[in-house]
Structure 1
Amino acid sequence: MAQIILHKADTRGGANHGWLKSFHTFSFSSYYNPERIQFGALRVLNDDQVDGGMGFGDHPHDNMEIISIALEGSLQHEDSMGNVAVIEPGEIQVMSAGTGLYHKEFNKQADKPVKFLQIWVFPNERNVQPRYDQQKYDLDSHRNELVQILSPDRADAGVWIHQNAWFHLARFDQEKELRHSLHMPGNGIYIFVLKGEVSVAGQELSERDGLGIWDTDTISIKAKPGAELLLMEVPMQV
């Protein structure tokens, strides 16, 4: 029988640093909840807003797959590998931190906030060579369907990471029911609602709600017009 965990938007941890407003689905920084450490290999799901011209200075990472998805505005990235890039809506960025790197992120625009998701996934291989990638995706040309933006296959659609994980985004302009089959036994799915209303496994979800489901082979998603969601399939054992 499928197992389900529901995280309503207003139960997330939060931090307001003035220039940074962040909501944490899982324990992060000063927010600690022993019942919300991770969902399988999914360790961090932060919903961030950074004021114009502000950002995070140089800081280190290692042995983590770090994914950023821009929602609004422009996020500038610089790292110790020499990459300089701007991430905008319709783009996903990934860093395999591996043996270690430094990077910084800041709002490229001075007069408006940038909003983005930062996601950490435990890798299935440690101490790899650090790497960076960034890809575009197009939801408007593929409305009412799941668009793959990440996988473990470097020849597949979207970016790739060192983990048997698959991410999809979807944007709906009509009422729609989708069925999604998991790629691997032992994986689970975490759904994060970006906008609107969806129903998954009999649970009604609204904006910024999250739902994890595992011990199942397929899931059914019912979306209302105007809904947007992020679907993350990850191994449950790490």
Structure 2
Amino acid sequence: MIDMRPYRTLGGGHHGWLKSRHHFSFADYEEAERDCWGALRAWNDNEIAPGSGFPAHPHANVDIITYVRQGAIIHDDNLGNRVRMEAGSVQVLSAGSGIRHSEYNAEGVPAHLFQIWIKPEQSGGRPEWTGLRFPNIDRAGQFVVFASGCQQDRDAAPLRSGARVLGVTLSAGQSVEYRPDPNRHLYLVPASGSVLINGVHADARDGIAVSDEDSLILTALEDCDIVMVDAP
């Protein structure tokens, strides 16, 4: 099953300093049919204006994966981490028993990012933050695992569930195959470009929910950058 969720149909709004679209129910946006997808609880498409950002606020019992698509943000948390995350960077905030953090755009251009929330298998635990950079050349034509709770993905940022967050860049006309467990929940979003997924057309920032598929064939219609969650 492949369920298209075009960008134009997503909830969200314009808050002055923040433009946000929600692939799943989030904040004031509620839609029963888009409440979650397995352990995937949220996928927010955010644009943060220059000189602004999210002030310090708390989280608990969630893994938050941030993929910076364009621009840069400064992450600051009460664990002592203060890091500038550029485009192509991925950070994982495992909130555990509780953490406070802020995200600020100190650049002169907007910051564009995906924020993905995944439910951990257990509540509590020590909060942690991990940041990694994944250059496009490393994931050209092949999936690279950004974050994972699976033992085989030792070079990825750690998650507290059996979920995986992956990325791939494709040149126009290039294809790649991904063979998932049919019992898992896949969700893909092209950060840029357009792509065919088992023949279904998706443009930049569209969402594609996938289940009960033995194989996915992704064929780029133009140069594209794709992020995917493979969740229990």
- The residue number in structure 2 matching 1:104 is 102
Q: 201, 209, 212: which is aligned to 1:215?
A: 212
Q: 116, 121, 124: which is aligned to 1:119?
A: 116
- The residue number in structure 2 matching 1:138 is 135
- The residue number in structure 2 matching 1:54 is 52
Q: SS of 2:8's equivalent?
A: helix
User: How far off its partner does 1:151 sit?
Assistant: 1.4
**Long gaps (5+) in structure 1:** none
Q: 35, 38, 41: which is aligned to 1:40?
A: 38
- The residue number in structure 1 matching 2:12 is 14
Which amino acid is the alignment partner of residue 56 of structure 2? D
- For residues 101 and 153 of structure 1, the distance between their equivalents in structure 2, rounded to whole angstroms, comes to 24
In 2 relative to 1, CA 192–207 (structure 1 residues): closer, same or farther, beyond 3 Å?
same
Q: SS of 2:90's equivalent?
A: strand
Which amino acid is the alignment partner of residue 176 of structure 1? Q
Which amino acid is the alignment partner of residue 202 of structure 1? G
Q: Is the 8 A contact 1:4 1:214 kept in 2?
A: yes
Q: SS of 1:126's equivalent?
A: coil
Q: 149, 173, 195: which is aligned to 1:152?
A: 149
- Alignment deviations for residues 207-234 of structure 1 (CA, whole Å, 9 cap, x no partner): 1111111123322212223122111100
- Two-structure CA RMSD over aligned residues (Å): 1.5
User: How far off its partner does 1:185 sit?
Assistant: 5.8
- For residues 33 and 185 of structure 1, the distance between their equivalents in structure 2, rounded to whole angstroms, comes to 25
Q: SS of 1:115's equivalent?
A: strand
Q: Is the 8 A contact 2:58 2:99 kept in 1?
A: yes
Percentage identity across aligned positions? 30
In 2 relative to 1, CA 66–142 (structure 1 residues): closer, same or farther, beyond 3 Å?
closer
**Long gaps (5+) in structure 2:** none
Q: Is the 8 A contact 2:49 2:111 kept in 1?
A: yes
Question: Number of aligned pairs?
Answer: 231
Runs of 4+ in 1 over 6 A off after TM superposition: none
Greater mean alpha carbon deviation, residues 150-159 or residues 207-216? 150-159
Q: Is the 8 A contact 2:195 2:222 kept in 1?
A: no
Q: Is the 8 A contact 2:69 2:87 kept in 1?
A: yes
- For residues 224 and 4 of structure 1, the distance between their equivalents in structure 2, rounded to whole angstroms, comes to 18
User: How far off its partner does 1:141 sit?
Assistant: 4.0
TM-score by length of 1: 0.92
Q: SS of 1:35's equivalent?
A: helix
Which amino acid is the alignment partner of residue 73 of structure 1? G
- Alignment deviations for residues 141-195 of structure 1 (CA, whole Å, 9 cap, x no partner): 442222221111476232110011112211122312221122x562121111111
- For residues 163 and 224 of structure 1, the distance between their equivalents in structure 2, rounded to whole angstroms, comes to 33
Q: SS of 2:32's equivalent?
A: coil
- Alignment deviations for residues 120-148 of structure 1 (CA, whole Å, 9 cap, x no partner): 00111211211110011122244222222
- For residues 194 and 76 of structure 1, the distance between their equivalents in structure 2, rounded to whole angstroms, comes to 20
- The residue number in structure 2 matching 1:83 is 81
- The residue number in structure 2 matching 1:230 is 227
- The residue number in structure 2 matching 1:23 is 21
Greater mean alpha carbon deviation, residues 125-134 or residues 152-161? 152-161
